[in-house]
Chain A
């Protein structure tokens, strides 16, 4: 029941910039802050960006987040091989008594 829409895949060569979009609604992204999670293969997800654009502890500054209206985006500049992972946006949704919703997820491949 994802209500945040992401592209299924994105790719780039080492050093390139990759951007992932996340589209929501007025009750989710439009009313609340956006978080981004990174899931490396075979591991539990970890928080990457919180509060729309704040990097979590230890996250390199090549990761950045932004939000505008009911959409958000994650940018990875200077793409590195270790960035190959699944990325999920998420936000609280004020509809239906409140719930936390994840995006559909984007697989980033480093070519």
Chain B
């Protein structure tokens, strides 16, 4: 069974930084692209970033480009999202999600999410 467990969320001050992690199990992590998707409270889904199997390709939403960095450690079966210069608009539940082999989408399955709160 595929399992994705996000961690690292919490309260951060405006302008601060945070690193999210996603521990993957139940599949050969190194063979699959991965995504981060977020959802602000009461709002819709927003794709954040995607990374290819050996980190050769990365993609970012315009809203986070230059502030967020996606990375992965295939030896640890872990996906990361380094976030900096955080603002109120970044407050959301962040989901880690798997892509099929050879593509970045469709996204399935999803983790349960980790909540990021930006407040002073």
Chain A contact residues, CB within 8 Å of chain B: 1-2, 35, 37, 39, 44-47, 50-51, 56, 86, 88, 90, 92, 96-105
Contact present for B104 and A92 (CB under 8 Å): yes
- Residues of B92-120 whose CB lies within 8 A of A: 95, 104-113
A102 and B59 contact, CB distance less than 8 A: no
Give the number of A-B contacts (CB < 8 Å): 67
The reply to whether B107 and A47 contact each other, CB–CB distance below 8 Å, is yes
> Chain A interface mostly helix, strand, loop or mixed?
strand
The answer to whether B110 touches A104, judged by C-beta atoms less than 8 angstroms apart, is: no
Residue contact A47 to B106, C-beta cutoff 8 Å: yes
**Residue of B37, B107, B111 ringed by the most chain A CB atoms within 10 A:** B107
Are B59 and A97 touching (Cβ within 8 A)? yes
- Give min CB distance, B58 to chain A, whole Å: 10
Q: Are A99 and B44 in contact (CB under 8 A)?
A: no
**Residue B73 at the A interface, CB < 8 A?**
no
Q: Does B45 contact A (CB under 8 A)?
A: yes
